[in-house]
Chains A and B, each alone.
Chain A
Amino acid sequence: MNTASESFALAAGLVTHFDPHLVDIVLLSLRVSLTATFFAACLGLPLGAAIAVGRFPGRDALIVLLNAMMGLPPVVVGLVVYLLLSRAGPLGSLGLLFTPGAMVVAQAILITPIIAALTRQTVADAWSEYREQLTSLGAGTLRAAMTLLWDTRFSLATVLLAGFGRAIAEVGAVMIVGGNINGVTRVMTTIALETSKGDLPLALALGLVLIAIVVLLNALAQLTRGWARARFG
């Protein structure tokens, strides 16, 4: 038999039997990327809303910069975070390098521009519809921004999902700042690099889980949006 079909069979076995090693890696991946998405949302949502509603000098340049930063190469982010967190770096005393914490930092930096830029677009579209009414009712800029964030919450769920999807699927940044240490910072994507060492079944199994997670989340988002549209208009 060829290696591919054997590997698929072994991979399926690992997934269906909840291989503990596999489960640990999946859980770590989820923990790191969900935490990164949480922090990126805390920054990106208000930032995007503020840029959408606010009027200040340099706003157009900021929008261009933000949109461009959606395409930040993970390896570059990893390198910068590595330099910041390395023992000789400005944040070296935190001792974060080669820990899951460092991976959270790197992924959060990677996806904050994505969440902020997509939030800005979503909120700006709503703002053009609501602007006169909210101004008429006497809402200031801050209040308007908060109202719009809440009113576009179902669209923003998709925005957060886009951020999470990017975080959990990237490999460059977590590889550099995490180091792919078995049992400590080895996540679903870095394990794929095990291919070179011959552990094809595990790599494939993780690939399957990764795809399943992403599909599941998007299905969930789609259902929520459909439900919300019917329920809230």
Chain B
Amino acid sequence: MAETVTGLPIVLDHVAAAPGGVPVLAGIDLQLAAGGRTVLLGPNGAGKSTLLRVLHGLIPPSAGSIRWGSATGRPGGQAMVFQRPVMLRRSAAENIRYALDLAGIRGTEADARIAEALDEVGLRALADRPARVLSGGEQQKLAFARVWALGPEVLFLDEPTASLDPAAARAVEKIIVDIHRRGTTIVMTTHNLVQAKRLADDILFLHAGRVTERTPAQEFFAGPRSAEAAAFLEGERL
């Protein structure tokens, strides 16, 4: 995390995105500073996942520009956990080693990080098990162990607990809090408003491909500023 080049703040200037030719985002102006936990809320199809992928550099903007701090192009020091984890056909530990290798971390330093990361998520005993035969919850924890080992500057989370049972979801939330405490900036999407209340410092509300408001979490849940967000919260309460 002590990079001389920082990928923060992330600055979006009039960004539009049309993955696969379908317009999803339009006119997004946004600045994400270091340190916070930002939760993206909005109805299905609002563009939350697409915005997350644009921020992570997986989808190039179709218009406008994106800058990551002082980095030229897409920086290292970013990581993402997807709704469904993708594991390679090798052991849990080797999956983490693969990610570290891509980040240029090898040898004893890698060994130490792998052990620490598996401890953090409680998967030490499964280190040598093939990753793809682990349960869904275990695979998601392993995805977080991979992130823990990388120690990224920014972490993007796309509905990280959506396919987990309540116990696994709680465990993953705790890991997210731990990762944030270590100094990682968190940007996540969720459909779980209770989870958003627990984890968010501020809320970014999207509707039909546009940001309608960005509000500190407490204030947002007390009374959102935009009519779209108010209608969304109203609908959730019904």
Which residues in A have some Cβ–Cβ distance to B below 8 Å?
Answer: 129-130, 132-133, 135-139, 143, 147, 150-151, 153, 230-233
Contact = CB atoms under 8 A, between A and B. Distances in A.
A147 B88 contact: yes
Q: Is the interface of B mostly helix, strand, loop or mixed?
A: mixed
Given A136-B79, A151-B89, A233-B89, A143 B132 contact: no
Q: Is the interface of A mostly helix, strand, loop or mixed?
A: helix
A139 B102 contact: yes
A159 to B, nearest CB: 16
Given A231-B130, A232-B133, A233-B133, A138 B102 contact: yes
B232 interface: no
Contacts of A232: 89-90, 130, 132-133
A132 B82 CA distance: 9
Contacts of B233: none
A50 B125 CA distance: 37
Interface string B69-85: 00000001011101001
B102 A233 contact: no
B82 A133 contact: yes
Contacts of A231: 130, 133
Given A132-B58, A151-B88, A137 B130 contact: no
A156 to B, nearest CB: 12
Kindly name the residue among A130, A231, A233 whose own CB sees the greatest number of chain B CB atoms within 10 A.
Answer: A233
B76 A130 contact: no
Interface residues of B, number: 21
Contacts of B98: 137, 147
Nearest to B130: A232
29 contacts: A129-B86, A130-B88, A133-B82, A133-B85, A135-B58, A136-B56, A136-B58, A136-B78, A136-B79, A136-B80, A136-B82, A137-B99, A137-B102, A137-B103, A138-B102, A143-B102, A147-B88, A147-B98, A150-B89, A151-B89, A230-B133, A231-B130, A231-B133, A232-B89, A232-B132, A232-B133, A233-B130, A233-B132, A233-B133
A147 B88 CA distance: 9
Interface in B94-114: 98-99, 102-103
A100 B52 CA distance: 58
Q: Which 9 A-B pairs have the closest CB atoms?
A: A233-B132, A133-B86, A233-B133, A232-B89, A136-B80, A232-B130, A151-B89, A138-B102, A137-B102
Interface string B210-227: 000000000000000000
Contacts of B80: 132, 136
